[in-house]
Structure formats: structure tokens, C-alpha cells
Amino acid sequence: MNIKTHIEKLNFFLFLLLLISLPFPALFARQAYIVWFLFWLLECRWLHKPALVDYIQRQHTKRLLIPIAGTMALLFLTVLSILWAQDKTETLHSFYRLCSFLPLVCVSLWGVNKYYQPAVIMRTIVLSSVASIGVYLFVYFWLRNPQHTWNAFCQTPINHIDWLSLNNLTLCIKHRLYYTMWLCISIPCLLWLYPDAKQRYGKWEARCLTVLLTAILLIGIYWTGSRQGLINACALFAVMAILHTPTQWGKRHIPYAKYITSFAMVLCVGVGILCLFTFHPRMKQYSIKQWFVVEETRKDSPSIEPRIAIWFTFFEHSKDIPICGVGVGNASHYMTEKYAEKGWERYENRSFSPHNQYLTVWLELGIIIALCFTIFCVATPLCYTGEARHWAIYATIIAMCSMCTENILGKVEGIHFIVITLLIAYLLQSKEPAITARQ
């Protein structure tokens, strides 16, 4: 066994460690991300002809170059915006953070070694997500229990759980939105692994295992306290149901099956979101009617839900935004000035960003780039085929829904989610014949 084989095995092992670290504090994932990419560079695949070029020539399609081109365009616009940015230092910091997309470009072009197997990757994502739920619950009970003994831990009644304290603990360890994004993407992994599980354990056992793990993931999403995480889960289930609705029952064709399922799932999502805002522990603190009350006389917090006040402020001053934006990384600086004009001290002190990725791109790069960005996000799954397209759709739904309430490109955790899910999509696409035969 030569040195190259050892490096390839170690590179895949480091990639699995990266996947394991993603549901845990961001510091671990950042270090694992860098080490994994360094070992990928040690394979020296970049010295040869890009594997993606061969694939494109065989398949006679260039669509797989679109995500790479979009990533490079984002980096280019970030550098270009230094020319008109109000705070050039913040723009440089944003550029350094967005450089986390470079592994996506390199690995997509030159590919990975033969040890990268989709089944192992999917299984690792699921197990790490489920394990993280157990770890966070253990830490919670450990902090609540003054005796710190195993017997006392096991004897803690379930009705003593303070859900608000529990999801606040999760927020201290890992931002609840980015954590639930990984829990959500684990559900399509279970769906992808189902044929293998059915073949190995049997149809009934595979169904029970899939349902059990899905229930654990949904419970984990609930107790994190992330409202957006629950909305992501509702949207994800709706899309999964639509994509996998059978149009035929035995030999009988079901007319309009897709349309009926689409309507039913949209209805279920609406009911699910309504239940969320009615029964969720974080929503019991205040009435939803107070969300949309923006009181100009209150200087500390003009609205019960900060995002509503932020969005109102953004659209009030949308006509004042330059055609090229204020520069990448300067959204918070621009919004802080508007908070100061209104006398909103709490918002000014915390320098709240627009808390919406689409509005942030509009503010930083202009409305034209924001429209192109939105179209690019929607069209990304069309670059793939088969199971890779389904996977890209699931990842896109989670990412785009999360972008409605958070600037996920402003955090390394959000960039990690996009990079890893797109890399898996490229891997599924490159192994499409084997995956089709597997099903």
C-alpha cells in the first residue's frame, strides 16, 4: 500500500470527521473543514485534468458548471464592492469568510477519491445528528443536576424539563438555526438510505427504523426552539411528499395525484405552522398579534419580534439604497444608522443586520444582483439529474427558507451547509449510474 492510498483513506476519514463535527460547536467544524481540505490538496488531484471536464464531455452538458460559476461570481462581486464600500475592512472580512466556498469549486472540478461512498456519507450525517441530540440532552440534565451522578441523571422526571432553558442551552452551544438545518437534511438522508436498509434488514424493519430516527430528529428540531427550523421541516416534508407521490397504485393510474398531494401538503404545512405559533414554548411568551406592532415611542425594542421591525425599517428606506448597494459586509453598518435615526437604542447597540439573506444582498450589492441571486438559488437543482437533483432540491428548500429569516452567508456555519450539501450533490451526480442500479 503506497503513500497515496494512505493519504486518500485519511482524506475520506477527515471528511467523515467533518460531517460528525457539523452539528456541534462551529469551532470544531471550522478546524475540521480546514484540515480536510488541506489533505485533499495533498492528493494532488489538482495537478491533473479536472474530472468534471471529462464528465461534461461524456454527458454533453455544461449545467454542472453553473453552481461553480455562481460561487466565483459572488467572490468577484465581493472584491469589486470594495471600491464603493463604506467600511472596506468589513468587506475584506466578508471576502475571507466567503473564501470558504473555494473547496466547493476545487473539489467539484477535480473530484474525490474512490473511498467517498454516498451511503457512508449519508449514514454519518444521520448518526452524528442523532448523537448530537443525545449529547445536548445529557449536558442539559448534567447542568441541572447538582449531584452529577448517573443514577440521579436517569431518575430526572421528564415533566421537570424546562424547554426554554433547554433550547437556550442549545443556542449557547450551537446556533439553533444552523443546528436544525443539519437535523433537517438528515431526514432526506434516511429516505436515501431506505433501499439499503430494506435489503439488509427487511421491509418492515427498515420502515420502523426510518420512522423512529425521523421522530428523534423531529423531536430534536422541536426542543431547540428554532421556529424557522420547524418551518424548514414542514416545507421539507411537503417537497418530499410531492417528489415521491406514486402516480400509479398497482395497475391503476391515479389521475392528478401530484396536484392532489401538492394541495394536501400545502394545507398540512399551513396547519403545521399555525400549530407552531400556537403551541411552541417560545411562542407562549407573547401573542402573535404583537409581532406586527411597531411602537415608535419605545426606544429599547419597538416590536416584540425584532425581525418585523427590522424589515419595516428596511423597506421604509429601500428607495435610498444605491443601485450598486453599500458594499458586502456593510449591511449592519447601514441599518445601525437607520436605527439611530429612529432612536431604537437596543437595535443600534446590537447592530442588527436585515436578518434576511435576500434583503442583505439587495442592500449590499443592489436590487439587480439580489434578483439574480434569488433566481440562481431557485435554478440550482436544475443543474443536476436523478437522485442528485432530489438531494439538491431538499438542500435548496432548507437553505432558501432559512435565508428568509437569517443572513446565512454571513456565518461560516451557513457556508459549510451549502458547500457540503452541494459537494454531496456533485458526488451523487458522478455516481448516478451506480445509484440508479441500486434502486
What mean pLDDT do residues 192-196 have?
89
Residue 55: pLDDT above 90? no
Long-range contact list for 256-265, CB < 8 A, 24+ apart? 265/237, 265/238, 265/241
Measured from the Cβ of residue 97, the count of other Cβ atoms closer than 10 Å reads 18
Pick from 188, 35, 173: which is nearest to 125 by CA? 188
Residue 52 · residue 64 · CB < 8 Å? yes
115: exposed, middle or buried (Cβ count in 10 Å: 0-12, 13-18, 19+): middle
What mean pLDDT do residues 326-351 have?
82
What mean pLDDT do residues 79-100 have?
88
Comparing 108-117, 149-158, 288-297, the range with the smallest average pLDDT is 149-158
Selected residue with higher pLDDT from 155 and 142: 142
Residue 158: pLDDT above 70? no
Sign of CA dihedral 381, 433, 431, 387: positive
Specify the pLDDT at position 137.
78
> What is the DSSP secondary structure assignment for residue 300, as one 8-state letter?
S
d(CA 405, CA 356): 5
Specify the pLDDT at position 416.
92
255-275 burial code (b ≥16 CB/10 A, e <16): eeeeeebbeebeeebeebeee
Q: Where are the beta strands (DSSP E) in 244-383?
A: 248-249, 252-253
d(CA 383, CA 67): 8
d(CA 384, CA 395): 13
Q: Mean pLDDT in the chain?
A: 80
Specify the pLDDT at position 391.
94
What mean pLDDT do residues 209-238 have?
85
Residue 362 · residue 321 · CB < 8 Å? yes
- Under DSSP, is residue 249 helix (H, G, I), strand (E, B) or coil? strand
197-215 pLDDT tens trace = 888 888 888 889 998 999 8
> What is the DSSP secondary structure assignment for residue 246, as one 8-state letter?
-
What is the full DSSP assignment across 180-221?
HHHHHHHHHHHHHHHHHHHHHH-HHHHHHHHHHHHHHHHHHH
What mean pLDDT do residues 47-58 have?
76
- Going by pLDDT thresholds of 50, 70 and 90, the confidence category of residue 153 is very low
258-315 pLDDT tens trace = 667 667 777 776 776 666 666 665 555 545 555 555 555 555 556 567 788 888 888 8
Domain extent listing, the chain? 52-111+286-439
Residue 344: pLDDT above 70? yes
Pick from 410, 429, 437, 378: which is nearest to 177 by CA? 410
Percent of the chain with pLDDT over 90: 28
334: exposed, middle or buried (Cβ count in 10 Å: 0-12, 13-18, 19+): buried
3-state helix, strand, coil in the chain (%, to 5): 75, 0, 25
- Going by pLDDT thresholds of 50, 70 and 90, the confidence category of residue 154 is very low
Selected residue with higher pLDDT from 169 and 160: 169
What mean pLDDT do residues 115-128 have?
93
Mean pLDDT comparison of 157-161, 269-273, 291-295, 356-360, highest-scoring range: 356-360
